[in-house]
Structure 1
Amino acid sequence: MHENSHPSATEELCALVLVAAGRGSRFGDDLPKQYHLIDDQPVILHTMRRFHQHRLISHIIPVIANGDPHWQVWSHQFAALAKLQPPVIGGAERQDSVRNGLLVAQQLGVPWVAIHDAARPLISQALLDRLLQARSRAQGILTALPAHDTVKQVDDKGFVVRTLDRRTIWLAQTPQIFPTALMLDLHQQASAAGFTATDDASLMEWAGLPVLPIEGDPHLLKITRPEDLETVRALIQGKEIV
């Protein structure tokens, strides 16, 4: 169960569960960050187009907030994406939203699922290739960056208590890729146990299952603050993402 040794796994189809139900309270305005515009198009459309281009991404399953008025505004442009499924309504927490998306992926019969933040638009085809190819090595694939700076741990008063070995530290990104049935089962187990994880790879850790980190991209940042949006806008306008 820990290793997937079949080379054919690298060619199996993968659905995208796109998490877009967040309100973006840290962004500082009422418009969710995934709907802010870059080149007159919302961030979420930039994200979806990049996944849509990959031949092994079979379906795009967006998970949006209940009562989201913005999705419908852009639905005429979203309709050009043939792989796009009707939006799924999210839950109270991110974990609930992902579980709702996983249920749809299971109903579609897609063997693998990539779970991704809608506010991370700068995913390259080359990185997607590497992540999907890694399915021959493990069932849990984590996009992550190795730490290059010195990492300090602080106490509850904010004072440094120790320096961590940065060689063992990776900073998690998305997408994170798993077998659909396995990840749905872990989400259901976690819900029953009252366990809340900060990302989906944490559910694999909770279950004692291995996760393989694959080096991501510093440009694959999550838009959380207004300055992040400006950085992503500059990258999109200033270079071709391939």
Structure 2
Amino acid sequence: MGAGIPKQYLSLTGQTLAEHTLNRLLSFAPIHKVVVAVSGDDPWWPTLSVSRHPRIQTVNGGDTRAASVRNGVAAVIEEGGEDAWVLVHDMARPLVRLSDIQLLLDQAGDRGAILALPVVDTIKQADASQYIKSTLDRECIWRALTPQLFPARGLLGALQGDLDGITDEASAMEKNGWQPALVAGHSDNIKVTVPDDLPLARFYLSRQRGDDNDEGGQW
């Protein structure tokens, strides 16, 4: 983002992205606790009042996403037991709709599930020189979003092995033979990654607030 601070602490309509994301998750009653993996030398996290919320637990993050998730999942199992399920969500996705999380819970089955979006663009596969190698069948291609929902014990096991090429929790589970379900979410569940994403997030947030009555308050 080129902002000098981690993107989760950037401001979006008067609150940090972290506050937007966490307050939204905390407003979803089926979530028992939210575990946040944070660097031990993070000076911004303790300044947020939400960090002291009774349903927030902080654990040490790792050198990689997978290591941070592994620490968080271990904390979930320690408190929730071997049969606990865990939702893994990107802190930089402050606009996830609670109705989409509920849909994820409803459709997960035994194999887990992730929020995702069917690809609508034509997708090209490139070679090493950035020439088109082939056109992929977009009917079978989805963009992975978060949250991603799995049995905590199964996910912890998947994150213990070879993590080469693992970019999300589903890919770790796939490597262990799982076939998670794809649950179609909303396109406004964006991940704030580059500067242009912030004004887009403001627009989507404003539109969601305008649609509040349509979703019964379930953003």
- TM exceeding 0.5: yes
Match in the other structure for 1:61: 35
1:112 counterpart = 2:81:
no
TM-score of the superposition, structure 1-length normalised? 0.82
In the TM superposition, 1:1-242 aligns within 5 A as 27-74=1-48, 76-79=49-52, 81-85=53-57, 87-109=58-80, 111-135=84-108, 137-188=109-160, 190=161, 193=162, 195-240=164-209, 242=219
SS at match of 1:58: coil
Distance 2:76 2:152 in 1: 7
Distance 1:187 1:117 in 2: 17
**What letter matches 1:40 in structure 2?**
G
Distance 2:176 2:104 in 1: 22
Quote the offset at 1:77 in angstroms.
4.1
Paired-residue identity, %: 34
Could you tell me whether the CA contact under 8 Å between 1:91 and 1:97 is conserved in 2? Answer: yes
Distance 2:115 2:105 in 1: 11
How many residues get paired? 209
Distance 1:50 1:151 in 2: 33
Listed one character per residue, the Cα deviations across residues 122-146 of structure 1 (whole Å, up to 9, x for unaligned) are 01111011001113x2322111100
Listed one character per residue, the Cα deviations across residues 55-74 of structure 1 (whole Å, up to 9, x for unaligned) are 11000000112300000121
SS at match of 1:177: strand
TM-score of the superposition, structure 2-length normalised? 0.90
Q: Which runs of 5+ in 2 are unaligned?
A: 213-218
Coordinate RMSD, CA, aligned: 1.4
